[in-house]
Structure 1
Amino acid sequence: MTSHPDFFPTLRRGLPLLVVLLMKACATVPPMSEDFGDNWKPVNVLAETPMEIPLKEEVAMHRFQLLPTDTSLQGLLERWAKEYGGTLDWQYPSDLTLVAALEQAADNNLQRALTVVRRTYSPQRLRVQVLANRDLRVTRLP
């Protein structure tokens, strides 16, 4: 059997040195942070009273306008009818694609916005009516 050297005496001699080095490392002063000047602001400072933060300019937003999410004329008029407080009664034989001329329909008045729709789709003989119960009815002119 081979004998292995005894590591415990070496460890016993080196342990006090290791402890002294660790204590010395903990006693060192950390380096000072740099001075960043006076242009910083503290985070999470809350005001005493709430303030309104405008998300959109209400004057610039039109209620009845073409949006990027609109995919067809039926979908556009369905959204307008809902915003007006009614429903859409679509009796036209097919749906119609949206065209660039509808970008002119940007108004807070439904009748003026529908005038642009009527003028744009007049070759398709489209009739758009606003009913007394706030519903929109879309039919084909005779």
Structure 2
Amino acid sequence: MIDGRLTFIVDPNSRSKPSSCLTTIIVSAKDPERRVEAGPGDNLGLVDAGIVWWNSVGHDCETRFPVAYGVPLAGGPRTPEEVEREVAAKELTLGVVYEVVANAGIGYGGGRFRLTADGGVENLPRGDLADVR
């Protein structure tokens, strides 16, 4: 959390240090029982698959880490296929395991997390879900 907002950063211990801007960010719920409802303009199939936020821009991107949850990426226009994949950020639920994936230029990265009752975020290993329930 940064200034009370869920914010995605590059792990300071990561060997990967993206120098490129972000073209796509996807957050999905890994708990099949905790699905959210699609809103206007959302891709229903993606929401049904557990996506709670999917945002992308063209390769003429501007956003770099850190990225606050729900704040649209800045950059040039997307392809028609990318527009059809958009899902507006949904309210996140305490205790649910979420996975985030971000594309930056030619690389990508991600992680897992869950929100805690004390207003924090618990980063989780990317292994099997059975390991984190």
TM-score, length of structure 1 as denominator length: 0.25
Instruction: Kindly name which structure, 1 or 2, has the bigger radius of gyration based on alpha carbons.
Output: 1
TM-score, length of structure 2 as denominator length: 0.26
The structure with more helix, counted as a fraction of residues: 1
